């Protein structure tokens, strides 16, 4: 028996007038998922707890059986792990933007003209930075204008504010300690130095001189945010005895898989948006599940969340239909325990995550099949699972896989 | 968006033969609440946890997001705060009865002839009491035969028993320490001295001499019970960033609002019973919600609970109909997130609180409206909220108000 948690990121929604007061999922044609719901058992799920608005990171950690209040300190560590930086517990990690600053450091473009190429050359330069002997600067580009920064050394803290001013026309924010500790003061000082030095090292960088010549905004400053201390995460296989893989589109989810010790399956052509190469996504999901290597697979497809953030009603609905199409193969597989869910709701009317519960279903042998006939937020609320929590899932799926130890005699 | 938790105290019930095996709520005509249920989302709620019989105090604390197992030490502190005693963390507070004792201190009337007037003069005398230099005696009358006592000083404890013998014909109970600590022994001794001294100070009090002359039982002794140490309560506004008011009939609920730092809206004519001045209650609820001063309002109407304690089947049903009438205005308001609930069940057949879950509904923009059409215990159990807990509510309401921070990214 293989266990699969299939996350359709941000799929949960609220009734939408333009869809006849249905949600995008209720309105979408989803014959494959409807069939599995008919043969499965459904319910609604509060990923963290009712009313709590989960991030994708805290939601996925919870679904994998980690307590986010314990292991989640910020997004940085997961982003860094997601681009294959070999982070270690205690490292202080940030996600960063390559941005454009003028001479007095006023930010004129937070995304540096949406730079796409040669950021590896810029990263190489930043990696030469010396701040002092106590701290090692590890820097790596991610996709587009994104990058990660890891500070390694003694006496560092993640109790500091962000440098990113969020809006153009401002200078970088002075990073401040969030408490009175020496560690927080020192780390804030290090990051402030990092920002200024990044400008000094990049303003005349060959890549930037060429960009300026081409009329493009230079990537001449780096703005860190999303700070977190890399947590100690017990590997998934050690916790559960299951060899696991993560098939995901985004660095954030890949980073969570990585920190949990899972094999990361990269999907060429995956963008995390509604125009992602869904055939490539499909192929890599099916190949991974069909392989003999894994007992457990975490799948994440991201487009419904992006459409939710963009308020794109029909884009969201249509993307859910695309995901349904790649579900047909899963329906035909035997010997799998499949749990389909969203990690959180991202209602198109709110354009951000909300605490609304998400509709879920199990498809597996031996279920107490209920009488819900279609996959939707309100149909699922009448299902045989009633209302569960995200932290229940790793127990329930292992129970259906028949690999959870008995508690007692 | 304003958040409102509207508590119909003790409304939950069980099927009653005299009502055709309906509950009082199921049997009541409640067109306004039925309409809101139709346009809202319903469910059942365990205020503390399934099977736990909540007090009104622990229930309300939970609904406001406080852990009653942490902040609730007894009823005294909330009663004292409710009559505007400026209690401070660490104070030991009691609710008290003015009672009638004969010369050997046998209690002949626990309610001192249901005394109604001039208890302020009696309180003034008690406030002169000196027990020793370590402890300050703060005493204040409440409504009728009720009062509060607060002991302030070093080395006090709430780990002691009650003085009230509960039944007439007995002497005051000797207060005993509940553990071996010096603090508990000392406090028990102080309270025992307080009871005896109260008789000495009151037996010839002018108010009592006049009562005796009029053939009324004198209020010549004070019996403390419901001891608790005043807890440190983080103000509601500090916790949630919401300016809050409490519109309640009883001192107990007002005291909870007070300790949570809420503005207390007093309702002239409110008695907490089924004959309360419902028009005055109505006016003060609507005025408070309509005012620009508050982001969050806690409402409590108490009559259904009183009728439940009295086993008054039809009184309870009719009072619920009265409450429904004042709900029409709320139905018409936009930009509110309204949560209607009971704090606990007080079945007329049990005449006390039970752990039966209570029926609840949300009315707000953007809800996943379910297909429940009327407000009742059993109808609500089929609603889209399924079964929630009281501690979820402060998260869910802030999520619907869109003011809760995201946990993660």
Q: Both tokens of residue B356?
A: 């039966």
pLDDT recorded at residue A190: 98
Q: Which residue of A has its CA nearest to B407?
A: A54
Cα of B389 to nearest chain A Cα, Å: 9
- B370, B392, B408 member nearest A381 (Cβ): B370
Report the residue count for chain A: 409
**Helix (H), strand (E) at residue A141:** strand A135-141
Q: Which residue of B has its CA nearest to A75?
A: B409
**Residues B354 and B345 sit within 8 Å (Cβ to Cβ):** yes
Give CA–CA dist A187/A157, Å, rounded. Answer: 6
**Residues A335 and A366 sit within 8 Å (Cβ to Cβ):** no
Give residues 41 to 100 of B whose Cβ lies within 8 Å of A. none
- Residues of A within 8 A of B387 (CB-CB) are 386-387
- Residues of A within 8 A of B409 (CB-CB) are 55-57, 75, 226, 252
- Cβ neighbours of residue A57 closer than 8 Å, sequence gap 6 or more: A68, A72, A75, A78, A252, A256, B408, B409
- The closest of A227, A230, A250 to A56, measured between CA atoms, is A250
Phi, psi dihedral angles at A147 (to 5 degrees): -155, 175
Give CA–CA dist A23/A21, Å, rounded. Answer: 7
**Residues B261 and B235 sit within 8 Å (Cβ to Cβ):** yes
pLDDT recorded at residue A157: 97
Give CA–CA dist B409/B398, Å, rounded. Answer: 18
3-state secondary structure of B121: helix
**Residues A76 and A156 sit within 8 Å (Cβ to Cβ):** no
pLDDT recorded at residue A51: 98
**Residues A93 and A228 sit within 8 Å (Cβ to Cβ):** yes
Q: Both tokens of residue B316?
A: 């309870």
The answer to whether the Cβ–Cβ distance between B408 and A57 falls below 8 Å is yes
Q: Both tokens of residue B74?
A: 């007894």
Give CA–CA dist B365/B369, Å, rounded. Answer: 10
The answer to whether the Cβ–Cβ distance between A57 and B394 falls below 8 Å is no
- Residues of B within 8 A of A50 (CB-CB) are 388-389, 392, 395-396
Q: Both tokens of residue A284?
A: 């890599």
**Helix (H), strand (E) at residue A300:** strand A296-301
Q: How confident is the model at residue B387 (pLDDT cuts 50, 70, 90)?
A: very high
Going by DSSP bridges, is the β-strand pair B336-341/B358-363 parallel, antiparallel, or unpaired?
A: antiparallel
Q: Which residue of A has its CA nearest to B387?
A: A387
3-state secondary structure of B313: helix
pLDDT recorded at residue B145: 94
Q: Both tokens of residue A280?
A: 């490539």
* Residue-wise burial string across A379-408, b where 16 or more C-beta atoms lie within 10 A, e elsewhere: bbbbbbbebbebbbbbebbbebbebeeeee
Cα of B395 to nearest chain A Cα, Å: 4
Around B329, how many Cα atoms within 13 Å sit in the side-chain half-sphere? 13
What is the DSSP code (8-state) at residue B19? G
Q: Both tokens of residue A156?
A: 């560092």
Cα of A141 to nearest chain B Cα, Å: 20
Give CA–CA dist A74/A88, Å, rounded. Answer: 15
Give CA–CA dist B86/A107, Å, rounded. Answer: 52
Give CA–CA dist A76/A92, Å, rounded. Answer: 8
The answer to whether the Cβ–Cβ distance between B408 and A52 falls below 8 Å is no
- Residues of A within 8 A of B384 (CB-CB) are 378, 381
Give CA separation, B381 vs A44, B46, B179, B350, B385, in Å: 15, 12, 44, 21, 9
- Residues of B within 8 A of A381 (CB-CB) are 368, 370, 384-386
Cα of A355 to nearest chain B Cα, Å: 6
- B369, B382, B399 member nearest A355 (Cβ): B399
Give CA–CA dist B26/B19, Å, rounded. Answer: 9
Give CA–CA dist B248/B231, Å, rounded. Answer: 21
pLDDT recorded at residue B104: 96
Give CA separation, B68 vs A371, B72, B390, in Å: 39, 5, 11
Give CA–CA dist B251/B99, Å, rounded. Answer: 20
Q: Both tokens of residue B73?
A: 């030490």
3-state secondary structure of B333: coil
The answer to whether the Cβ–Cβ distance between A68 and B399 falls below 8 Å is no
Torsion A216-A219-A225-A229 (CA) sign: positive
Cα of B134 to nearest chain A Cα, Å: 38
- Residues of A within 8 A of B47 (CB-CB) are none
Q: Testing the interface with A: which of B366, B382, B409 to mutate, by most A Cβ within 10 A?
A: B409
**Residues A274 and A315 sit within 8 Å (Cβ to Cβ):** yes
Q: Both tokens of residue B261?
A: 């730092």
Helix extents (H) in B203-302: 206-213, 236-240, 251-259, 278-290
**Higher-scoring residue by pLDDT: B143, B21:** B21
- The closest of A81, A205, A63, A182 to A140, measured between CA atoms, is A81
B169 touching A (Cβ < 8 Å): no
Give CA–CA dist B42/B316, Å, rounded. Answer: 22
Give CA–CA dist A404/B106, Å, rounded. Answer: 64
Give CA–CA dist A302/A11, Å, rounded. Answer: 9
Assembly ipTM: 0.92
Q: Which pLDDT tens digit goes with each residue over B342-368?
A: 999 999 999 999 999 999 999 999 999
Give residues 349 to 388 of B whose Cβ lies within 8 Å of A. 366-370, 382, 384-388
Going by DSSP bridges, is the β-strand pair A296-301/A244-248 parallel, antiparallel, or unpaired?
A: parallel
The answer to whether the Cβ–Cβ distance between A53 and B386 falls below 8 Å is no
- Residues of A within 8 A of B370 (CB-CB) are 378, 381
**Residues A298 and A257 sit within 8 Å (Cβ to Cβ):** yes
- Residues of A within 8 A of B404 (CB-CB) are 51-53, 355
The answer to whether the Cβ–Cβ distance between B368 and A381 falls below 8 Å is yes
> How many beta-carbon pairs below 8 A join chains A and B?
88
The answer to whether the Cβ–Cβ distance between B368 and A23 falls below 8 Å is yes
The answer to whether the Cβ–Cβ distance between B406 and A55 falls below 8 Å is yes
pLDDT recorded at residue B248: 97
Q: Largest Cα–Cα distance of chain B, in whole Å? A: 75
- The closest of A349, A350, A72, A56 to B403, measured between CA atoms, is A350
- The closest of A74, A178, A272 to B407, measured between CA atoms, is A74
The answer to whether the Cβ–Cβ distance between A347 and B367 falls below 8 Å is no
pLDDT recorded at residue A160: 98
- A50, A226, A386 member nearest B396 (Cβ): A50
- A50, A59, A352 member nearest B388 (Cβ): A50
Cα of A201 to nearest chain B Cα, Å: 30
Mean pLDDT computed over B250-279 = 96
Q: Which pLDDT tens digit goes with each residue over A87-125?
A: 999 999 999 999 999 999 999 999 999 999 999 999 999
The answer to whether the Cβ–Cβ distance between B368 and A354 falls below 8 Å is no
Spell out where A308-381 has E strands: 336-341, 358-363
Q: How confident is the model at residue B291 (pLDDT cuts 50, 70, 90)?
A: very high
Give CA–CA dist B153/B88, Å, rounded. Answer: 11
The answer to whether the Cβ–Cβ distance between B366 and A347 falls below 8 Å is yes
pTM score? 0.94
pLDDT recorded at residue B149: 98
Which portions of chain A are predicted below pLDDT 70? none
Mean pLDDT computed over B276-302 = 97
Q: Which residue of A has its CA nearest to B398?
A: A51
Q: Which residue of A has its CA nearest to B391?
A: A50
Residue with tokens 């569960």: A388
The answer to whether the Cβ–Cβ distance between B407 and A354 falls below 8 Å is no
Q: Which residue of B has its CA nearest to A54?
A: B407
The answer to whether the Cβ–Cβ distance between A50 and B398 falls below 8 Å is no
Per cent of chain B over pLDDT 90 is 99
- Residues of B within 8 A of A55 (CB-CB) are 406-409
Mean pLDDT computed over B21-30 = 98
- Residues of A within 8 A of B369 (CB-CB) are 15, 21
**Residues B191 and B160 sit within 8 Å (Cβ to Cβ):** yes
């Amino acid at each position: 028996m293989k266990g699969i948690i299939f996350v359709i990121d941000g799929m949960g929604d609220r009734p939408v007038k333009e869809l006849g007061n249905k949600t995008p999922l209720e309105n979408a044609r989803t014959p494959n998922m409807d069939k599995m719901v008919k043969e499965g058992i459904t319910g609604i799920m509060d990923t963290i707890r009712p009313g709590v608005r989960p991030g994708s990171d805290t939601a996925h950690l919870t679904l994998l059986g980690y307590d986010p209040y314990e292991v989640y300190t910020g997004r940085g560590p997961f982003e860094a792990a997601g681009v294959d930086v070999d982070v270690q517990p205690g490292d202080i990690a940030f996600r960063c933007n390559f941005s454009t600053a003028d001479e007095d450091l006023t930010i004129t473009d937070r995304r540096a003209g949406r730079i796409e190429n040669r950021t590896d050359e810029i990263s190489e330069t930043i990696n030469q930075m010396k701040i002092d002997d106590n701290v090692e600067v590890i820097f790596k580009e991610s996709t587009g204008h994104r990058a990660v920064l890891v500070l390694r050394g003694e006496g560092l803290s993640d109790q500091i504010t962000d440098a990113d001013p969020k809006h153009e026309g401002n200078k970088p924010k002075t990073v401040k300690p969030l408490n009175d500790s020496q560690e927080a003061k020192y780390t804030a000082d290090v990051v402030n130095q990092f920002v200024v030095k990044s400008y000094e090292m990049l303003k005349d960088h060959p890549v930037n001189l060429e960009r300026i010549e081409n009329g493009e905004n230079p990537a001449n400053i780096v703005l860190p945010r999303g700070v977190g201390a890399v947590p100690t995460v017990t590997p998934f296989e050690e916790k559960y005895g299951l060899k696991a893989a993560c098939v995901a589109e985004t660095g954030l989810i890949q980073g969570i898989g990585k920190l949990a010790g899972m094999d990361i399956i990269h999907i060429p052509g995956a963008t995390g948006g509604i125009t992602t190469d869904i055939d490539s996504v499909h192929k890599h999901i099916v190949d991974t599940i069909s392989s003999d290597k894994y007992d457990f697979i975490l799948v994440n497809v991201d487009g419904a969340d992006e459409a939710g953030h963009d308020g794109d009603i029909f884009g969201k609905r249509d993307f859910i239909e695309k995901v349904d199409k790649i579900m047909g193969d899963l329906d035909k597989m035997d010997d799998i325990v499949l749990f389909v869910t969203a990690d959180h709701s991202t209602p198109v009317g709110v354009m951000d995550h909300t605490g609304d519960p998400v509709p879920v279903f199990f498809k597996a042998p031996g279920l107490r099949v209920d009488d819900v006939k279609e996959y939707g937020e309100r149909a699922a609320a009448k299902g045989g699972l009633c209302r569960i929590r995200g932290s229940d899932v790793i127990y329930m799926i292992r129970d259906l896989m028949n690999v959870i130890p008995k508690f007692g005699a």
